[in-house]
Copies of this chain bind each other. A is one copy, B any other.
Amino acid sequence: MSATIYDVADEAKVSMATVSRVVNGNPNVKPATRKKVLNAIEKLDYRPNAVARGLASKKTTTVGVIIPDISSIFFSELARGIEDIATMYKYNIILCNSDKNKNKEIHLLNTLMEKQVDGILFMGGEITEEHVEHMRSSSIPIVLAATYHEDAEFPSVNIDYAQAAFDAVDYLAKKGHARIGMVTGTLEDPVNGYQKFKGYKQALAENNVPFDESLISVCDYTYDSAIESVQDFVTLENKPTAIFSATDEMALGVIHGLQDRGLRIPDDVEVVGFDNTRLATMVRPTLTTVVQPMYDIGAVSMRLLTKFMDNEMIEEQNVVLPHQIEYRNTTTHQEIVKE
């Protein structure tokens, strides 16, 4: 077994309390004593046991992160923002994939609480009453990242999804498009479905463009599903001349589905994506898309969580980050972006 604080105390001929003090940087130790202890630590290759420390101090310096799918290009970017800030504040991260599955989410919430994490960062789909119950059942701070909750009961970091979608569709409508298609995730998804769809409809309304249900294609967030959706659009009597996609990955599917059928982008159809993942510049033509600052959402939400964990003052617990549209080459009439 490896050395304990007792072994070090013996070796240095001091009490364990003193060893604890030097390990924790407590200034109330005479330099000479500190040195003796440091030598003993070195000699025994002593490493403090964080589990014992956690039990005694009730802090684990670990936070739980519940994320739908770390292999998604969107969430992995978010996760990086989270981890970077966590590291900066000396926290480690327990990462859990939920697939936006309610039972898994609740199970993970409980597991993380059992592990005594100091806080939880939650990314998910819908927040149900049951979620809320479990989240309340412990006093540890929880912040929602890129996850919408009606009641704003929990701290959160988001962009204004409805407004962002509105901006994208409004831009298309103002260019004269009267047939604007939308590729979306399930409408039950508060963010990628409902909020963005709401923005879409409102933009149509404000531009006096009639809403047409046949222009809406509900996909499952994958590239392939979006490719297939093109089939529906293309067989329409009255085809769309522009398409707004709820995510970049689906936008790529739309672009390639269109191109595979000989349509030209942006000449025949203009396309606008959402998120500005790295994918957006890795297609030809490069994708015009709504910028959602993924890394920042992760970073800011983790920072917010540290404030709760360290009992700092919180100015605003529901942060809304700015969004914007990045104009690239799947839309026309803009200065051509060079790659």
Contact = CB atoms under 8 A, between A and B. Distances in A.
A228 to B, nearest CB: 11
A26 to B, nearest CB: 18
B97 A84 contact: yes
A335 interface: no
Given A73-B73, A260-B339, A278-B223, A51 B47 contact: no
A19 B210 CA distance: 65
Contacts of A24: none
Interface string A134-153: 00011000000000000000
Q: Which of A97, A110, A249, A295 has the most CB of B within 10 A?
A: A97
A71 B299 CA distance: 13
A48 B115 contact: no
A117 to B, nearest CB: 10
B223 A114 contact: no
Nearest to A60: B51
A147 to B, nearest CB: 19
A94 B92 contact: yes
Contacts of A51: 51, 54-55, 60, 115-116
Nearest to A295: B71
Contact of A114 (B47, B84, B281): B47
Interface residues of A, number: 54
A73 B282 CA distance: 13
Interface stretch (A35-43, A74-82, A154-162): A74-82
Interface string A1-14: 01000000000000
A227 B286 CA distance: 14
A103 interface: no
Contact of A110 (B47, B110, B116): B47
A65 B249 CA distance: 28
Interface in A24-68: 45, 47-52, 54-55, 60, 62, 65
Interface of A: 2, 45, 47-52, 54-55, 60, 62, 65, 69-73, 76-77, 79-80, 83-84, 87, 92-97, 110-111, 113-116, 137-138, 223, 227, 249, 252, 256, 259-260, 278-279, 281-284, 295, 339
